[in-house]
């Protein structure tokens, strides 16, 4: 049981490192984003390769596609600006 738990934690850690490296490699790149929701502050959507992206905006862009430059990321999502 302990071995399974240790292996599971190690795999999770490896996955998180891979995701972080991928997000880091995307900084400065431009992607088309389909915006799916607006939370009052950010338009949120996905790129063609399923990255979740948030763009600070004053108005909804739901159901629109726009080019976004990736500027930053955290554990779960990327942030960008409209191009």
Q: Can you read off the two tokens belonging to residue 43?
A: 């338009």
CA distance 72 to 39: 19
Positive or negative CA dihedral for 22, 35, 75, 8? Answer: negative
Q: What is the mean pLDDT of residues 54-80?
A: 96
Tell me the residue ranges of DSSP E strands in the chain: 30-38, 42-47, 52-56, 65-73, 78-82
Tell me: the pLDDT tens digits for 2-61? 999 999 999 999 999 999 999 999 999 999 999 999 999 999 999 999 999 999 999 999
52-56 vs 78-82, strand pairing mode: parallel
**Residue matched to tokens 């191009």:** 83
């Amino acid at each position: 049981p302990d071995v399974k738990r240790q292996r599971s934690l190690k795999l999770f850690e490896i996955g998180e490192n891979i995701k972080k490296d991928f997000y880091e490699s995307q900084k400065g790149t431009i992607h088309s984003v389909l915006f799916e929701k607006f939370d009052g502050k950010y338009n949120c959507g996905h790129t063609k390769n399923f990255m979740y992206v948030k763009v600070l905006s004053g108005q909804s862009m739901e159901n629109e596609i726009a080019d976004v430059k990736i500027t930053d990321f955290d554990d779960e999502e990327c942030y960008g600006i409209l191009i």
